[in-house]
């Protein structure tokens, strides 16, 4: 098949079927995101071993947890705009490398201060991976399947959060907390050469920045080998673009209100995820459930998120993204509430599964909306700043949970507070959907192409 002289790259990608090349990109990004999920949950499992060896109290442990999350927040805020300037691929590889190096170094930390600094640097490095993995996946996905591909890619996060528990079980008795850090460092370092060899740059980014037409042709031919381009083909991306600070453009062209609503959804969803992931084992154990069953219930919560992430995209693509995400948050709020009234093991496991499907699934859907709401030149910035604001919620969530437990709140009240957060997230997405005529889910032409 031969294209015309001028090719609009987003339209061309939208016309293609999903092939092996796009699937490979999705899998590679999922592997990178999986490491984020691993890192997010690992501290909860190694905390007892770490506390015993370094003689740390709850305050010192909390400081290490919080500083790591602050690093993730700053990394997301910083590397989103950097990627919009220098490319998604370069930032993903660099951040994965930094995360691996600093995580491996943390295995040899001999003081709480050095461990805290290394966890901050590791978080700072890895904070840039998630927004760019989302952006890169979105930019190779046809519009009609974008939700499906992003949600499948994001499955890497809850999968990583789930497998860390299984990895920690044999490692901790044999090697202690340092062994878990060694694994957390080796995995990204092994992934870096794979990413360098197989992960492509975004075609849209290359076109917008006027880079190497031959490379653009090569990447498009890998999307569909039947595509053939003449020597005089002109590739364009008919989207808005503008000079200046990328963050400011998140609030221009009627994007201000949707951006604020997106940030609200990110904030409350990550607050909920980290609150529940951090305190579910303790809450259930305090309620009289064995520790092993409490840990399993927490894993079931993450497992619900995996299942929801696998199927949510299909519903978003078919029934509309805003409506689907608002409904999934509402269902999450319902089942989180029901957790507070569950007494049998079967009811707890069922409610934990559907609560995870709603809360983690809502977060997954929010990522799709973020990637679809901004044009290419600020897409990583939009996703990165949404995740960065959300990381503030991830810091506050565990703190809020600890305060509720220290005040001896009833179980029903604790879960009701978590449910309110999920409901607020659904409401923010619903209101954001009401503004979608101003912020189109499809890239719109707002300025002439230069």
359-400 pLDDT tens trace: 988 998 998 898 888 887 888 888 889 988 998 998 888 888
Q: What is the pLDDT of residue 198?
A: 95
d(CA 93, CA 136): 13
pLDDT > 90 in the chain, percent: 28
Mean pLDDT in residue range 34-44: 81
Asked, for residue 396, whether it belongs to a domain, the answer is: yes
User: Residue 447 pLDDT more than 50?
Assistant: no
Range of the domain at 126: 6-203+244-434
Instruction: Report d(CA 181, CA 190) in Å as an integer.
Output: 14
Most confident of 211-215, 338-342, 415-419: 415-419
User: Residue 250: CB partners within 8 Å, gap ≥ 6?
Assistant: 256, 259, 374, 378, 381, 382, 385
pLDDT of residue 148: 84
So what's the pLDDT on residue 439? Answer: 45
What CATH number is associated with residue 156? 1.20.1250.20
pLDDT band at 211 (very low <50, low <70, confident <90, very high): low
- Residue 189 pLDDT exceeds 90: yes
| 198 within domain boundaries | yes
Q: How confident is the model at residue 449 (pLDDT cuts 50, 70, 90)?
A: very low
- 76 located within any domain: yes
Q: Which residues, 6 or more positions from 205, have their beta carbon under 8 angstroms from its beta carbon? A: 84, 87, 88, 139, 376
281 and 294 in contact (C-beta within 8 Å)? yes
> Is 70 exceeded by the pLDDT of residue 103?
yes
Query: How many whole angstroms separate alpha carbon 344 and alpha carbon 282?
Result: 17
pLDDT-wise least confident of 222-236, 283-297, 338-352: 283-297
Tokens (6 digits) for 161 = 């959060």
Worst-scoring range by mean pLDDT, 130-144, 209-223, 279-293? Answer: 279-293
Judge whether residue 450 has pLDDT over 70: no
Largest CA distance in the chain: 72
pLDDT at residue 290 tops 90? no
The neighbouring-strand residues paired with 6 are 234
Q: Residue 448 pLDDT > 70, yes or no?
A: no
| pLDDT band per the 50, 70, 90 thresholds, residue 210 | confident
pLDDT at residue 421 greater than cutoff 90: yes
Instruction: Name the token pair of 110.
Output: 């001999």
Report the number of distinct structural domains present in the chain. Answer: 1
Q: Please give the pLDDT value at position 441.
A: 41
The contacts of residue 289 (CB under 8 Å, 6+ apart) are: 297, 345, 348
The residue behind tokens 């699934």 is: 361
Mean pLDDT, rounded, for 110-123? 90
The answer as to whether 192 is a domain residue is yes
Q: What is the pLDDT, as a whole number, of residue 438?
A: 44
- In whole angstroms, give the CA distance from residue 416 to residue 409: 11
Please say whether the dihedral angle defined by the alpha carbons of residues 5, 380, 158 and 343, taken in this order, is positive or negative: negative
- Res 60 pLDDT > 80: no
Residue 100 has pLDDT above 80, yes or no: yes
| The residue to which tokens 């995101």 are assigned | 33
**Could you tell me if residue 224 is inside a domain?**
no
pTM score:
0.80
In this predicted structure, what is the pLDDT of residue 194?
96
Q: Contact, 429 vs 287, CB < 8 A?
A: no
Q: What is the pLDDT, as a whole number, of residue 3? A: 45
pLDDT for the residue 241 = 65
- Report the DSSP beta bridge partners of residue 2: 228
Q: What pLDDT was estimated at residue 231?
A: 72
pLDDT of residue 12: 83
- Say whether pLDDT at 44 is over 60: yes
Band (pLDDT 50/70/90 cuts) for residue 28 is very high
Question: How much is the pLDDT for 186?
Answer: 94
Is 442 part of any domain? no
Phi/psi for 288 (5° steps) reads: 105, 5
Mapped to the 3 state alphabet, what secondary structure does the chain carry?
CECCCEEEHHHHHHHCCCCHHHHHHHHHHHHHHHHHHHHHHHHHHHHHHHHHHHCCCHHHHHHHHHHHHHHHHHHHHHHHHHHHHHCHHHHHHHHHHHHHHHHHHHCCCCCHHHHHHHHHHHHHHHCCHHHHHHHHHHHHCCHHHHHHHHHHHHCHHHHHHHHHHHHHHHHHHHHHHHHHHHHHHHHHHHHHHHHHHHCCCCHHHHHHCCCCHHHHHHHHHHHCCCCECCCCCEEECCCCCCCCCHHHHCCCCCCHHHHHHHHHHHHHHHHHHHHHHHHHHHHHHHCCCCHHHHHHHHHHHHHHHHHHHHHHHHHHHHHCHHHHHHHHHHHHHHHHHHHCCCCCHHHHHHHHHHHHHHHHHHHHHHHHHHHHCCCHHHHHHHHHHHHHHHHHHHHHHHHHHHHHHHCCCCHHHHHHHHHHHHHHHHHHHHHHHHCCCCCCCCCCCCCCCC
Query: pLDDT digit string (tens) for 149-161?
Result: 888 888 888 788 7
Q: What is the pLDDT of residue 243?
A: 66
Cα end-to-end distance, the chain, whole Å: 27
Give domain status of residue 149, yes or no. yes
The whole-number average pLDDT for the span 118-141 is 89
Dist. CA 252–CA 420, nearest whole Å: 31
For the segment 184-207, the average pLDDT, to the nearest whole number, is: 92
Strand partners, 236: 8
pLDDT higher than 70, residue 140:
yes
* Tokens describing residue 330: 């509402």
Question: Per-residue pLDDT for 440 more than 80?
Answer: no
CA angle (351, 354, 359) in 5-degree steps: 115
Answer whether residue 421 is part of any domain.
yes
What would the pLDDT profile of 399-409 be if each residue is shown by its tens digit?
Answer: 888 788 778 88
47/52 Cα distance (integer angstroms)? 9
Residues linked to residue 8 through DSSP beta bridges, in sequence order = 236
User: Between vectors from CA 39 to CA 422 and to CA 117, what angle results, nearest 5°?
Assistant: 110
Report yes or no: 157 and 36 within 8 Å, Cβ to Cβ. Answer: yes
What is the pLDDT, as a whole number, of residue 423? 94
Share of residues in the chain with pLDDT > 70 (%)? 92
How far apart CA 311 and CA 200 sit, in angstroms, is 26
Tell me: pLDDT of 444 over 50: no
Please give the pLDDT value at position 242: 66
**How much is the mean pLDDT over the chain?**
84
């Amino acid at each position: 098949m031969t294209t015309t002289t001028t090719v609009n790259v987003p339209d061309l990608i939208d016309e293609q079927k999903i092939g092996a090349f796009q699937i490979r990109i999705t899998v590679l990004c999922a592997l990178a995101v999986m490491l984020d999920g691993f890192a997010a949950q690992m501290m909860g499992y190694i905390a007892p071993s770490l506390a015993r060896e370094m003689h740390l109290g709850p305050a010192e442990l909390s400081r290490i947890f919080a500083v790591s999350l602050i690093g993730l927040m700053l990394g997301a805020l910083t590397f989103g705009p950097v990627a919009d300037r220098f490319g998604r691929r370069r930032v993903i590889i660099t951040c994965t490398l930094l995360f691996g190096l600093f995580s491996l170094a943390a295995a040899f930390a001999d003081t709480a201060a050095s461990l805290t600094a290394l966890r901050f640097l590791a978080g700072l490095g890895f904070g840039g991976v998630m927004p760019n993995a989302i952006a890169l996946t979105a930019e190779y996905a046809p519009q009609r399947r974008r939700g499906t591909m992003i949600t499948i890619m994001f499955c890497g996060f809850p999968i990583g959060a789930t497998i860390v528990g299984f990895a920690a079980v044999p490692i901790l008795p044999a090697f202690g907390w340092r062994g878990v850090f060694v694994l957390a460092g080796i995995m990204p370092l092994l992934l870096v050469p794979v990413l360098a060899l197989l992960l492509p740059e975004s075609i849209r980014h290359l076109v917008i920045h006027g880079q190497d037409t031959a490379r653009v042709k090569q990447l498009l031919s890998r999307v569909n080998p039947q595509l053939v381009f003449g020597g005089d083909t002109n590739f364009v991306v008919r989207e808005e673009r503008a000079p200046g600070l990328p963050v400011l453009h998140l609030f221009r062209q009627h994007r201000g209100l949707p951006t604020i609503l997106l940030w609200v959804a990110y904030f409350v969803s990550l607050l909920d995820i980290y609150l529940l992931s951090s305190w579910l084992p303790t809450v259930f154990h305090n309620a009289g459930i064995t520790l092993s069953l409490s840990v399993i219930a927490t894993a079931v919560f993450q497992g619900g998120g995996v299942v929801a992430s696998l199927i949510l995209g299909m519903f978003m693509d078919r029934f509309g993204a805003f409506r689907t995400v608002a409904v999934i948050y509402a269902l999450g709020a319902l089942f989180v509430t029901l957790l507070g009234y569950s007494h049998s093991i079967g009811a707890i496991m069922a409610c934990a599964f559907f609560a995870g499907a709603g809360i983690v699934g809502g977060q997954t859907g929010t990522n799709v909306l973020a990637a679809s709401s901004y044009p290419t030149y600020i897409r990583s910035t939009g996703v990165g700043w949404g995740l960065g604001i959300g990381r503030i919620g991830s810091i506050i969530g565990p703190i809020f949970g600890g305060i509720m437990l220290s005040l001896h709140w009833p179980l029903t009240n604790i879960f009701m507070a978590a449910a309110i957060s999920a409901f607020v997230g659904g409401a923010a997405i619903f209101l954001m959907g009401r503004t979608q005529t101003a912020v189109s889910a499809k890239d719109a032409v707002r300025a002439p192409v230069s």
